Amino acid sequence: MKKYLANRTSLIDASGIRKIFNLAASMKDPINFSIGQPDFDVPEALKQIAIDAIKEGKNKYTITAGEPALCAKIAEKITTQFGPSSHCSAAASWENPSVLFASGVSGGLLLAFMSLVNPGDEVIIPDPYFVMYKHLVNLLGGKCVFVDTYPDFGLHPEKIAEKITDKTKIIIVNSPCNPTGAVYSEDELKAVAEIAAKKDILILSDEIYDKFCYDAPYPSIASIYPNTILMKGFSKSFAMTGWRLAYVAAPKHLKPVIEEMTKIQQYTFVCAPSPFQQAAFAALDYDISDLIAGYKTKREIMYEGLKDKFEMIKPAGAFYTFIKSPKGTGTEFVEKAIKNNILIIPGCVFSEKDTHFRLCYTTTNDKIKQGIDILRKLA
C-alpha cells in the first residue's frame, strides 16, 4: 500500500487532538478538557438567520472570495479599526483592505501557506504553537524554525531576531495563543515588527481568539506592521466550529497575496458555506460580552484551583492553559489523567518539548471543579 502514497504524507502525523477527541466518544461521561470548542451554542438569533437563509434558497455557491456585501462589511470594519481614523502606526495601509472569506482560519492558513511557502523557505514559529502551522509548512516543503518561549510563553523578540536568515519568509504571531493562552503585549509586537521590517518579512497574524482577551484591550500586530496577513474567524467566538467561517485580510499593497489565495480557493474549498455567510454578516455586529465574561470566570476557577499544585502561567486570553507536568513527561501525565476519566492533551502535540499538557476549560463550571479535584490528587 505504501507505494501508492505520496511521499508528503509521511511528513505529517495524525492529529493528537483528534485522537483524544475520538477517545472521548468511547468513554462514559469523561471530564473533557481536550477539544478547543466552546461549551455554549451558536446564539439563537444567528442560528435563525442561517435557517432562514437555507429556507430562502441561499444554498448555492457564492463567488469564491465570499458574498460581496459580507466582504465589504469586513473591509469597512478593518478600515475603522486600523485605518486612517484609528491613529494606528500602520493606518495608511489599512484603508479598504483586500478580503477573502475562507472555510475557517484553518482553511485560510492552508491557502496562505500554499500561496507563500516555497520548498526551503523558513517560517518562524513561536513554540508552543497551534498544531497546524508545523504540519502545513512541512507538507509544502518549507522549514519550520521554532523559537522557544518557555517558561513564560512571551513572544521573546530577541530570540526571534536570532533566528532570522536570508531564507526567512514568514513570522507567525498567534495571539491570544493556542495552546498557552498568552496575549502578547504591544511592546513585544512592536519589537517583532521592527525585526520583520529590517528584512521585509511577512507576518501572519492568527487572531481567531481575539474576543477572548480578559485583562486588557487586545493589541493586534496589524495595527503596527503593514506587511501583515490578518486572519480572524467566527468558530470560537460564536461556537460555529462546524460552520467553517473565517476571513483573511491584507493591506492594499498585499492585494496580490489575497488574489492568489482566492485563486487557490477556486480549486480547493470553492467557497465558504453560503447560508452560514449570511449569519456571519450579522455576527460582525453581535455582542458576546456576556459569553466572554463567563469564560473569564472559568479561567479564574481553573487557575485558582490549580496554581498551588502545578507550575503554570495564568492565561490572559483564549480558553487554554499550558501546565507543566508535576512528574515525568507531559505524555505520561496525560495517560495517568485519562485513567482517571480526564481528557487533556500532551504538550508535545503543540511543541518540540514533552514537558507540559494543555487543558481547555470549555466545559461547565461544575465539570471544571470536578476536574480540579482529580488533577490536584494526581499532582
In whole angstroms, give the CA distance from residue 249 to residue 232. Answer: 9
The predicted pLDDT at position 208 comes to 97
The predicted pLDDT at position 22 comes to 66
For residues 314-343, give the mean pLDDT.
94
- Residues in a beta bridge with 203: 171, 228
Q: Please list the alpha-helical segments (H only) found in 121-273.
A: 131-139, 157-163, 186-199, 255-266
142: helix, strand or coil: coil
- pLDDT higher than threshold 70 for residue 23: no
Asked if residue 362 lies in contact with residue 24, where contact means CB atoms within 8 angstroms, the answer is no
Q: Please give the grid coordinates belonging to residue 307.
A: 496554581
The tens digit of pLDDT for each residue in 166-208 reads 999 999 999 999 999 999 999 999 999 999 999 999 999 999 9
Q: Where are the domains of the chain?
A: 2-42+288-378, 60-283
> Which of these, 128, 121, 120, lies nearest to 156 by C-alpha position?
128
The tens digit of pLDDT for each residue in 25-58 reads 667 788 999 988 899 999 999 999 999 999 999 9
Amino acid at 370: Q
In whole angstroms, give the CA distance from residue 196 to residue 124. Answer: 11
- Please list the helix, strand and coil fractions of the chain in percent, rounded to the nearest 5, in that order: 45, 15, 40
Asked if residue 337 lies in contact with residue 375, where contact means CB atoms within 8 angstroms, the answer is yes
- pLDDT higher than threshold 70 for residue 1: no
Angle between helices 274-283 and 44-55 (to 10 degrees): 140
Read off the pLDDT band of 140 (50, 70, 90): very high
> Which of these, 236, 185, 231, lies nearest to 212 by C-alpha position?
236
For residues 274-282, give the mean pLDDT.
96
**Domain 60-283, CATH among 3.40.50.1360, 3.40.640.10, 2.60.40.10, 2.60.40.1250:** 3.40.640.10
Q: Please give the grid coordinates belonging to residue 90.
A: 500602520
Q: Please give the grid coordinates belonging to residue 1.
A: 500500500
In whole angstroms, give the CA distance from residue 332 to residue 141. Answer: 32
The dotted CATH code for 2-42+288-378 is 3.90.1150.10
**Which of 7-21, 225-239, 292-306, 356-370 comes out lowest in average pLDDT?**
7-21
The tens digit of pLDDT for each residue in 208-227 reads 999 999 999 899 999 999 99
CB 89: neighbour CB atoms within 10 A? Answer: 14
Mean pLDDT of the chain: 94
Q: How many helices (H) and strands (E) does the chain have?
A: 12, 12
- pLDDT higher than threshold 90 for residue 87: no
Q: Per residue in 224-257, is it b (16+ CB within 10 Å) or e — as a string?
A: bbbbbbbbbbbbbbbbbbebbbbbbbbbeebeeb
Read off the pLDDT band of 89 (50, 70, 90): confident
The predicted pLDDT at position 12 comes to 80
Asked if residue 154 lies in contact with residue 294, where contact means CB atoms within 8 angstroms, the answer is no
